[in-house]
A and B are shown apart, each in its own frame.
Chain A
Amino acid sequence: MKKKLFSMLVLCLIGLQGLMAQGREISGIVTSADDGLSIPGVSVIIKGTTIGTTTDFDGKYTINVEEEGQTLVFSFVGMKTAELSANTDIINLVMESESIGMDEVMVVAYGTAKKSSFTGSASVLKKEALENMQVSSVTKALQGNAPGVQVISSSGQPGANPTIRIRGTGSINASSAPLYVVDGAPFDGNISSINPDDIETMTVLKDAAAASLYGSRAANGVVIIKTKSGKSGKTKISFKLQQGFSTRAVDGYDFVRGDEYYQLYWEGLRNGAISDPTAMSGYASAEAYATDNVVKQLVYNPFNVDKPIGLDGQVVDGAKLLYNADWQDALSRTAKRTDAGLSISGGDEKTQYFLSAGYLKDEGIALTSDFERYSSRVSVTTKAKEWLKTGISANMSRTEQNAPTSSGGSYRNIFLFENTPASIYPVYERDSEGNIVYENGKKKYDYGKTRPMGASDNTNPVASTEMDIIKNTRTTVGINAFAEATFLENFTFKTNLRSDYYMRSYESYYNSEFGDGAGYNGRSTKRKYETFSWTYTNTLNWTKTINEDHTFGALVGTEAYSYNKQELKGQKTEFPFNGVTELSVGAQVSNLSSGTYDHRIVGYFSQFNYDFRNKYYVSASFRRDGSTKFHTDSRWGSFWSVSGSWRIDQEEFLSNVDWLSSLKVRGSYGTSGNDGLLDADDNTDYFPYLGLYETGYNDLANAGIVLASLPNDALKWESNAQANIAVEFGFLNQKINGSIELYERKSKDLLFARPMPLSSGFTSVNENIGDVKNTGIEFVINTVNIETDDFYWETSFNVSANKNEITKLPQEKMPIDNYREYRAGTSIYDFYIRDYAGVDAIDGAAMWYTMDDEGKKVTTKDYDSADRFYSGSAEPDFIGGITNNFRYKNFDLSFMFNFSVGGKVYDSSYSALMHAGTNVGKQMHEDMLNRWRKEGDKTNVPKLDNSVGTNYNAISTRFLFNNDYARLRNITLGYTLPSNLLEKINLSKARVYVQADNMLTFSSHKGMDPEQSTSGITNNRYPALKTVSFGVKVDF
């Protein structure tokens, strides 16, 4: 957009002069190295004169040169200025983009800014980087590409959005998610509805100077997404098709074999009977008891003999293991991925347009899981009058996502189930010889009606996942319209209305035969909600330059935001025909509810900028916001920022230092706010200040209500104050450039659910209490390592570190759950758990630490009397990424690693696999083979003993692991067909490529995906996918 404005300007200023000139005529065409397309509006000036012209809409120019030996200067915003001597009649130029230059134009709050003049902190991700990622949800592309931004893909489910934390977690009970702004206004739909191919840039605003103009909702940072728009010039048609396959990026846990399981379980029984002899009354010995009971308890006998384990605990002679079930394999698959897109863009001097359509089908490795997206976007801008510019863009998308339960403790969860039945429980029924039983020519599933509890009885998700439905259908329609008028001198007025309609439909059906739905003869749930939101923004802009030295800019604006959500949910049971799942079919209503929710914000804002000779910049902003989430008397909050920068490279005394191409220092301080208090289930609380009765507690037909919350009229905005300083540098004509930033982010008056004594009848009351601090450092360096005509190699590297600290709390100790207890001075990521002291070599019992009366740390074998200690943090010490791009002739190669070092993870899935024979039928990890067996054994794994309850593998540092990892996030190899070949077949560009995501993962703890959650606790989650695709992209 800016490019065109600039070219218009140039045209106005110098166009006339060009027409009047006389002499030798030189002509040519200017094209872009990026896409081979012609560039209109490039200024062509004879060096040392004011004579010049601009290229027309086909990129062509003609200029008269009066004297010999003159030089033409070609310049265009965002492109490297080129100087060519005017010694031939035809001069064609391929312009290179100024990709890492100081004068890039950035998208910032309520407008754009030149990178050189920007006083805030922001990271920009361009379409080129996005194109290398096979992300169904575009924010995943920020991972490793934006310093200070932690991206955790907790789920490999296609279409799932990652958790994003910008500069740490600043809130405890309020949302820590950033604000998403798409094309100038807050976006309320689902990010996964946006086709990444439609995105021009993604900008992360991090500090107060960058974000606080969004005041009310900017406390957790802002992600601005700018979609593509049309360019004047030749119509460009672009088509892309990509086809790939996905498998699991990391292997699961290693299990014991069926015969090993039998022996281990025998040992658990034997040791249990010794610990608690009441169990073995009537038996000659504990061994006899174990040999007799092992089959009885495990029920399934995968051997060819009735008593497979002898009195010595070994498999008896002649006993043969008939099968060894592999649930992990049975529950996953190789999945397909198809991504296709078409876009058309173009326009003339007045009107530009962009159209796109995309299709994605992304299957997951879990049975039935997939994501399908149909998306389209259209954008038109036109200069209606000399002083009036208007535009409208619209997008529509529909996504369908089959998302079988893939986290948590429900046995529906495939990723729990693969760790659940021991290998002695077959996927398909087996006959007495161990052969699979067939029924009607098909393998007969084993539903395990007699499987013990630990192996999940009466279910088989390999079969029932296909019989069940868990599906999300999302429809997103967005319209953005604006009008911008320039008037008087230097004034611009812009009015922008954005509206988003989002409809989410959730449906689930639990079949009537097995699992959760069996008790109800099938259960069908339909939940639909639609949200309609609009943001109406008006801004008035003024700029003025005085004496070429002083440039002033001012902005005032208003914004009104309204969000309305209407929800309807129904559930029925008693379905006579399995698989016919519409609510009309069911006989019994088990749930029927609806609700309407509103959230509104009004804001007034202003900004003032000043720079002196492009050297010294200062900027200040102020915003006042009112939100319906607070009481009338407390709802208005004020947010402000001040910032400044100094471009030292512009100073006289550095003008002779050739190796230094840029040097800038900047600093900012400011505040922003958060009104996003969440309820106990992490849902938005629309009226957190009201004391309310909750409806729906009906006693048969008698309508009933119960008290749900305590009032607090004084509840107000959570505020976030951030200080930021940075140095930006560039050497050797920007071939080496980078920045280093330091920040301190203090969240004050946290929106906090202050714990109440449970005897009050409430668990908490919402108040503004508690402070959290995040401090950090971010470092970025980009280098062009080799640049020749044939070979080009550039590297980008970034690393950032954040440290979180709770600085104030309403009570000394704040227990959160079995893993965490907050106190001032600790971090919200800290683990507070029992400290494992290993195994007593004499009796094989597990030990933990406790503090004795003298304050000394001593061991105990009683889990309950062991003390909890702060045992490390889930927050990584540092995270980052490194990208290398190579180009050799027509080949290009790019690869990107992201890494995370220093965080800890509590692996509860692993701990469950390390039970001491207490969870009958539950799978065991291979590490159980290292258990203590006899006096003197030195091992970290306690003995098997099914009498002692569940404490051996209860929560302790035994299962807390370092979670360092590095991932080859992406590698792409491409070949661009030579242009002479393309001209023959009338194409402007064609590229074929192979792209692979998550090819390699190096992690310090095996069995789980290293990306889990901000809290660092595993939850049987869907692991990341490894996707390899082949693609072709053609431009006409």
Chain B
Amino acid sequence: MKLNKILFILLAGSMFVSACSDNFLEDPEPTTAVSPEQVFKSIGGARAALNGIYSYMRSGNVAGNTDDYGLLTVRIMGDLKGVDAALVAPSWYYWDYKFMETMRTVNSTRTREIWSRYYKMINDANTIIKFTPGIDATDAEKNQILGEALGIRAYMHFELVRLYQHTYAKDANAAGVPINLEPSSAATEGNARSSVSDVYKQVVLDLTEAAKFVGSDRSLKSNFNIDVINGLLARVYLHMENWSDASKYAKLARKDYTLMSGDDFAAGFNDTSNSEWIWGLATNGEQSLSWASYFSLWDHNRTSGYKNIYCDKAFKELFTATDARNLFEYDSVKEKWYGTKATDKSDNTGAIVMMRASEMYLIEAEAEAEAGNNPAAQTALFAIQSQRDASAVKSTSTGSTLVDEVLLERRKELFGEGFAFFDIKRRQLPLKRGADHWYQADLPANAKEFVLQIPKKELDSNLNINDEDQNP
């Protein structure tokens, strides 16, 4: 018996010891996530971080709402807050279409999701910008990564300042949005709103820097190459009414892209292989948002979808019979016209165009007209008109008439691509819809309804933005 007892004491002791092995608690590691240290060990890791941002631009449902499709939400809103696209009943985005304050003001999910998503991409870009220089790789490899990240950071700031304030030309000293240039940490207390002009300065700085770094090669049209950077510079300068640079970069951006044919125009706007697409977001069967996607709302001939976006009859009537863009059908139940420009691929994997050559012609035309270079403007405008409509006649207008013609052409050419609302803001136009609309908005130029309020969660947690800094 004595032996047994001693044995037990030994056994007990050994069991106590066995439980405290150090590795037992050290071994487990994340299996579906990686640390920043692992990511920035190689240029491939940094590239994955960039790919993540490109993917995130078109991912849905991140914050939980069905109508949060990343950049595409802003794009859909961009048409529905204009005068040409229309809804006919309460359905997705009708809050935006009806300019309902609940979707614009401080507590709305719309402003929260746009704000958080764009700043998230800024922070991811900042992390890449901070850690890429330390990677053991060639300067060329690192510069390409840095340039794309700078371009992304610039684009996000630019979009935010367009959404959260009136246009640059109205008041460059107005409060813009916070500029973030460093990766966030737990100690980040949030930056104050910078002035609109400071935000634009930073955007131009980043894009100019990016233009030095990035080349023209890329694996997918989602990636920012030199053409995308130039195109963004053209857009930014157009907003700043720097006409000469706007025209200059517009020409640079489109130089390797040819305008598509009329047949291509009618082919659905769903493939990045299109000759004039400079920047586009493609998807595949696994990554498609399907029901929750751009095409689900726009494409009435899709097998399934919300199919809720129509257009104003007066807008449809702007197109001549010979215009390749005269792509409309009539819904006899709803008694409304809808566009057939955007049609999804049969497997719901249509790509989204984010920038194309014709926009660059239009920027050039508008900038040249504003600068008083009428012939150059007329030529740029006619380049599009003649491509779309064989019976088009070259404009002989000048001055503001010519500018108005360019703006009308923008509506016709870029319908459904998210420009309508931003052009109204940029040109400081009133917003008045015609009789065919379910909701006939009548808002003055620079109406407060055109500016999103900063989300409540930002006001509550940012030590440098308070209630009194809020937009009206």
Q: Residues of A with Cβ closer than 8 Å to B?
A: 278, 281, 387, 450, 452-454, 485, 487-488, 493, 495, 516, 518-520, 536, 538, 540, 558-560, 562, 573-574, 588-593, 595-600, 602, 604, 626-628, 632, 635, 686-687, 690-700, 702-708, 710-712, 755-763, 765, 767, 811, 813-815, 818, 863-864, 918-920, 949-951, 954
Contacts and interface: CB of A to CB of B under 8 A. Distances in A.
B316 to A, nearest CB: 20
Nearest to A693: B34
Contacts of A950: 102
Given A519-B348, A591-B286, A632-B26, 9 more contacts: A493-B8, A493-B11, A519-B305, A590-B288, A695-B34, A757-B458, A759-B177, A761-B116, A811-B460
A762 B184 contact: yes
B472 interface: no
B461 interface: yes
Nearest to A297: B89
Q: Which of B12, B26, B53, B59 has the most CB of A within 10 A?
A: B12
23 contacts: A454-B90, A519-B290, A538-B15, A597-B31, A598-B27, A600-B25, A632-B25, A632-B26, A694-B32, A696-B32, A699-B54, A702-B54, A704-B49, A704-B54, A705-B34, A705-B49, A710-B184, A755-B460, A759-B180, A760-B188, A761-B116, A761-B121, A762-B123
B184 A864 contact: no
B28 A599 contact: yes
B51 A704 contact: yes
B287 A598 contact: no
B119 A588 contact: no
Interface in B254-296: 282-288, 290-291, 296
B90 A919 contact: yes
B287 A558 contact: no
A561 to B, nearest CB: 10
Interface stretch (B16-24, B78-86, B398-406, B444-452): B16-24
Given A598-B28, A760-B188, A695 B33 contact: yes
Contacts of A488: 5
B462 A704 contact: no
Contacts of A588: 285-286, 347
A693 B123 CA distance: 12
A700 B191 contact: no
Contacts of A703: 48, 51
Contacts of B33: 687, 690, 692-695, 708
Given A699-B222, A710-B186, A759-B119, A589 B285 contact: yes
Given A453-B90, A757-B190, A518 B304 contact: yes
B167 interface: no
A487 B5 contact: yes
Q: Which of A487, A599, A755, A761 has the most CB of B within 10 A?
A: A761
B457 interface: yes
B4 to A, nearest CB: 7
Interface residues of B, number: 93
Contacts of A690: 30, 33, 35
A600 B462 contact: no
A706 B460 contact: no
Contacts of B102: 863-864, 949-951, 954
Contact of B112 (A599, A758, A813): A758
B127 interface: yes
B190 to A, nearest CB: 3
Contacts of A818: 107
A452 B458 contact: no
A453 B91 contact: yes
A175 B50 CA distance: 35
B301 interface: no
B115 A759 contact: yes
B393 interface: no
Contacts of B191: 759
B332 interface: no
Nearest to A556: B16
Contact of B35 (A626, A691, A697): A691
B189 interface: yes
Given A519-B305, A558-B16, A598-B28, A693 B35 contact: yes
A814 B459 CA distance: 11
A758 B190 CA distance: 8
Given A691-B35, A761-B119, A707 B127 contact: yes
B25 A487 contact: no
Contacts of B285: 573, 588-590
Contacts of A711: 186
B471 to A, nearest CB: 14
B456 interface: yes
Interface of B: 4-5, 8, 11-12, 15-16, 18-20, 24-28, 30-36, 39, 47-56, 59, 89-91, 98, 100-102, 105, 107, 112, 115-116, 119-124, 127, 177-178, 180, 184-186, 188-191, 219-220, 222, 282-288, 290-291, 296, 303-305, 333, 347-348, 435, 440, 455-458, 460-463, 465
B32 A595 contact: yes
A519 B55 contact: no
Nearest to B49: A705
Given A708-B33, A710-B185, A519 B304 contact: yes
A450 to B, nearest CB: 7
A824 to B, nearest CB: 14
A485 B11 CA distance: 11
Contacts of B121: 761
A761 B348 CA distance: 30
Contact of B4 (A281, A487, A700): A487
B24 A705 contact: no
Contact of A705 (B18, B28, B39, B296): B39
Contacts of A864: 101-102, 105
B107 A757 contact: no
A597 B29 CA distance: 8
B126 to A, nearest CB: 8
Contacts of A920: 89-90
A485 B8 contact: yes
A510 to B, nearest CB: 11
A761 B100 contact: no
Given A559-B19, A693-B36, A815-B457, A706 B56 contact: yes
B435 A281 contact: yes
A687 B35 CA distance: 11
B94 to A, nearest CB: 9
A812 to B, nearest CB: 8
Given A697-B52, A761-B184, A495 B15 contact: yes
Contacts of B456: 815
Q: Which of A387, A574, A704 has the most CB of B within 10 A?
A: A704
Nearest to B112: A758
Contacts of A811: 460-461
A520 B12 contact: no
Nearest to A591: B286
Contacts of A708: 33
Contact of A520 (B53, B287, B290, B333): B290
B220 A699 contact: yes
Contacts of B122: 761
Contacts of A919: 90
B457 A755 contact: yes
Nearest to A712: B186
Among all A-B residue pairs, the 4 with the closest Cβ atoms: A761-B123, A757-B190, A519-B304, A704-B51
Contacts of A954: 102
Given A487-B8, A693-B49, A628 B28 contact: yes
